[in-house]
Amino acid sequence: MLISGKEISAAVRAELLERTNKLKEKGRTPGLAVILVGEDPASKVYVNNKEKACFELGFYSEKYLLSENTSEEELLALIDRLNEEDKIHGILVQLPLPSHLNEKKVTERISPVKDVDCFHPVNIGKVLTGEGVFAPCTPAGVMEMLKFSGIDVAGKNAVVIGRSNIVGKPMAMLLLKENATVTICHSKTKDLKEHTSKADILIAAVGRANFVKADMVKEGAVVIDVGINRNEDGKLCGDVDFSEVSGKASYISPVPGGVGPMTITELMKNTLLSAEENLKNF
């Protein structure tokens, strides 16, 4: 069965819209500020999609398009101002940043209560302990897809290919929280196929086009493809060779139309959660 992130995202957004309208009745509108530094074409697309999602859900949004040569001091000053702005509940700095800007310093400057990307060490620590309000958007989107598809991860062998701070590591933590037995594989893993072929749930987040082949996948496994790549023909594809693996998996997510739409939806959910928490503490 195909796990359509596009369809699941639409269902989740319908719920978010209801919650947003209820919050507005209490005098609070979720607000998201997005900052883009430079002219990266892919980043521009992502920022526009986030702005569109805000409009669709009735959020207040601010967009800051800064020049490539913006200084670190200017960027940090903008973040400081937004941290203090009552109508802003989420702050997102689109990555990657130009090379002269320190990504770690910039992301850590965002207040943890407005860190809707969940990149701040405080929030990552809370993901580890299972106490966080926010979850990193892409891994949270994957968990939503599994839940919506009726896939219970408890007691299952889950293998994550990739150990990035944005996807691989937090993905493992969210699976562990739901009682999966988790293995993280990476570039130094010996005999990768030995691990992946035992996975009941296989999540590919390695960033290599069509990397996962059918002989790496257990018959009847659930396969989630987080990758977004271009093949030699310039066509968008994932980390999983869909044509090979789809005949072997019980559930599989496509690229495009899989995890991608869920990532932005989870960002909206985090922004709404921030606004709801803000109202509780008001």
Residue numbers annotated as active site: 50, 94, 117
Task: Work out whether strand 229-230 and strand 201-204 pair parallel, antiparallel, or are unpaired.
Answer: unpaired
Task: Work out whether strand 236-237 and strand 251-252 pair parallel, antiparallel, or are unpaired.
Answer: unpaired
Sheet holding 251-252, edge to edge: 181-185, 157-161, 201-204, 222-225, 251-252
- How far, in Å, CA of 35 to CA of 37, rounded? 7
- How far, in Å, CA of 258 to CA of 246, rounded? 14
Q: Where in the chain does DSSP place strands (E)?
A: 31-37, 60-66, 90-93, 157-161, 181-185, 201-204, 222-225, 229-230, 236-237, 251-252
Angle at 74 between CA 72 and CA 78, to 5 degrees: 115
- Residue 27 contacts residue 60 (beta carbons within 8 Å): no
